[in-house]
Amino acid sequence: MIKAILLSVVLLASAVTLPSFDEFPAKEIFKGKPTKINLKSHKEARKYRTALTEGVQEGPNFAGHYTVVGIGCGSGCEIITVVDANNGKVFFPKQHRRSAAQGIGARTSRVGGAKCCRVGNA
């Protein structure tokens, strides 16, 4: 009986199709020069101003107008920040690890749940 239940669960789980990044295209791709970073938009932004400033140099790399900037904080940990090119606002998502699965034309990103850094959107 237990084997039958486990087999049913496995078969149901394998039938689920995960969404792809292509299903969530960005509505518009930012063109032009991004707005200067607003260091007052988050209490932690000023602490990381050099890394943020360097990180946004290439322009938006996610969801059309956001720049995802990774800041190393030691031993495989990376603080993920997101800067809006339209208004310079800085966000520090509560989940910190990022995978390479993102892009300028997508509105989604894969982020893991590392708890190594004590930074979050407050």
pLDDT in tens, 55-75: 999 899 988 999 999 888 776
Query: What is the extent of the structural domain holding 88?
Result: 21-122
Residue 43 lies in a domain: yes
Q: What is the pLDDT of residue 19?
A: 80
DSSP E strand stretches across the chain: 66-74, 77-84, 90-91
Residue 73 lies in a domain: yes
**Closest-CA residue to 83 (of 37, 27, 28, 30):** 37
Residue 4 lies in a domain: no
Distance from C-alpha of 114 to C-alpha of 98, rounded to nearest angstrom = 9
Q: What is the pLDDT of residue 105?
A: 60
Residue 74 · residue 118 · CB < 8 Å:
no
Residue 13 lies in a domain: no
Q: What is the pLDDT of residue 121?
A: 43
Residue 46 lies in a domain: yes
Based on C-alpha coordinates, what's the Rg of the chain?
Answer: 18
Distance from C-alpha of 37 to C-alpha of 28, rounded to nearest angstrom = 20
Residue 72 · residue 78 · CB < 8 Å:
yes
Distance from C-alpha of 100 to C-alpha of 116, rounded to nearest angstrom = 19
Residue 9 lies in a domain: no
Q: Supply 77's token pair.
A: 């940990």
pLDDT in tens, 8-50: 565 566 667 778 878 888 888 999 999 999 999 999 999 999 9
Q: How many domains does the chain have?
A: 1
pLDDT in tens, 72-119: 877 667 788 999 999 999 998 876 554 444 555 655 555 554 445 555
Residue 58 lies in a domain: yes
pTM score, whole prediction: 0.67
User: Phi then psi for 14, rounded to 5 degrees?
Assistant: -75, -20
Q: What is the pLDDT of residue 104?
A: 58
Residue 51 lies in a domain: yes
